[in-house]
Structure 1
Amino acid sequence: MPEETTEYAEVFANPDGTVTRRESFDPQRVRRGDAWVPIDLTMVARPDGTIGPKAAIVDVRVADGGEGELPATARNTPILVHNANQDDICDLTLGPSLRGQRADGVAAERGDKVLPHEQKMVNESGDRNGCFTCKAGQSGYRDGHWTGDHNPPNRLAPNGPWTLYPHCKDCSRRQGGIVNGLRQDWYK
């Protein structure tokens, strides 16, 4: 019953005449024209020269930094991003950019937390390469651990898959603010 499908629910007519409604707490799909497509935060280059996710709840676009361009928009509204350049905005919300940045990532098993063996690998990567966004050589935490940053953010891609990258304390907080803003429609 496609007419009853939403970002959060699907409704099916069963052969016995009953109806099944499958719901989720987090969005699972987005509307593209007349169809629903699964959320896909894979970054792609677009014909207008911006980069952004294939299919996301909020249409985020990051410009290449040309003269007069806004660094980032969500639903065609400029996003206020403090202390972040175009690459940072992309990296903080959707993982390493398409511009050749390299980072050691760790496949995450869960979206709600970083498991101990994953944290160990994230720490090793952070100690070796620094923060994958700002390149800081220190994590900013007293004990020296690195934040295992889920990319794409688990709040934007609740079903994964995720890759963990080492984030310093400052970049982790900046990403949290950006993701919360996107989830709460501050950029409508």
Structure 2
Amino acid sequence: MTRGFRLRALPMVLLMLAGVVVVTASSPRSSLPTPVAEAPDAASAFAPARLQGTPVGVANQTAEAKKVLANPDGTLTAQLSPQPVRVRKGDGWVPVDTALTSVPDGTIRAKAAVADVVFSAGGEGPLVQFSREGRRLALRWPGALPKPELDGSTARYREVLPGVDLEMQVEAEGYNQRFVVKTPEAGRNPIWGSRRCGSTRRVATRSRPGTTPTVAWPSRCAPAVC
């Protein structure tokens, strides 16, 4: 009885061993090489492009509005954008992100923009500081500014004049500003017709049912910014 049991168990042991061998033999096949996304230059990008059959980025030809790809067939493709879509951060690139955020030094900046634009967080000091490629500009508001409300890429300073808000919007390469005149009385303020303001042509009107129309004036009507 005992011998018969041992003989019948032997094929089961061999079957289990065979299964282990199959698993061990198949494991190396799952370790495929990681595709190359970018190479330092065109010469070093063509070889991986041919091997993997997909384009490889050329790092030394990437710019804020341009990306060059080495193709498997030995050609190069340049992807051009009408405006910057990426920003240099350290040794790499990150997508442009103009969403405003407060930073530890007490100012407000975009998360990732080509130009360095700094908005006031309220109080005394410059309203905006701009720098790019060694050029610097700072504009001040005559008096203390309220703490701004942040909405995406826009900082809104309420009641900088009676019935008037100031909106500062950061862009990839700079910024723009405008006054939002909220009441008819504010729109009749003599300051809009001053020499420093120039023409008081309206550029946009926003309104909702049951509310007072909101008129946005061009940034050149900024008599208090110096």
Q: Which has the higher contact order (CA 8 A, sep 6+)?
A: 1
TM-score w.r.t. the length of structure 1 is: 0.49
- The structure carrying a bigger strand percent of its residues is 2
Structure showing greater radius of gyration is 2
TM-score w.r.t. the length of structure 2 is: 0.42
